Amino acid sequence: MTYSIVKQTLAPQRVLVVRRRVGRSQIAATIGECLGRIFGHAQQNGIALSGLPFTRYCEVGPGLLTMEPGIRVTGEAPPDSDPAAECVEGEVRADTLPGGDVATTIHEGPYETLPDAWAALEGWIASEGLTVAGAPWESYLTDPAETPDPKDWKTEICWPVR
């Protein structure tokens, strides 16, 4: 697949996230479980959700990765305690997807072929003389429950750059 990649400027976005450290084979199940916790937390606390679910990849290693499935919120989410403080793994917490410049592309197809989009995005960033400036994230533009055929799935990838 050929990817159309652009640089755009995003506004900061308030979100609720759950941080987990998992193996690659656990990504899909972890996203589903964490999003369920976030939906429940938001409902119990009267927090309005908006926008698409996403997963931010904080650290990626050869075996394990640290990820944060999340959902954007409308208005003010409960404030973070201290952004520099270590969060408790598995707990729902308020956070912010950063504003600023991102390199972005849309992947069409099953999640198993997402590494192709990531590789194209990484190559584009290097070819443009940019450097990564934070943890990247995927936003899920289609819901597999509503669009069951993986060939029709769309995932937006955003990678902060400078």
The pLDDT value recorded for residue 72 is 95
How far from each other are the two terminal CA atoms of the chain, in whole angstroms? 26
The pLDDT value recorded for residue 76 is 53
The pLDDT value recorded for residue 77 is 45
| Domains parsed from the chain with CATH numbers | 6-160 (3.20.80.10)
State percent of the chain over pLDDT 90. Answer: 83
- DSSP, res 115: H
96 three-class SS = strand
pLDDT in tens, 50-64: 989 999 999 999 999
The pLDDT value recorded for residue 84 is 40
pLDDT band at 19 (very low <50, low <70, confident <90, very high): very high
pTM of the entire structure?
Answer: 0.89
Q: How far apart are CA 98 and CA 90, in angstroms?
A: 21
Residue 80 has pLDDT above 50, yes or no: no
pLDDT in tens, 41-51: 999 988 999 98
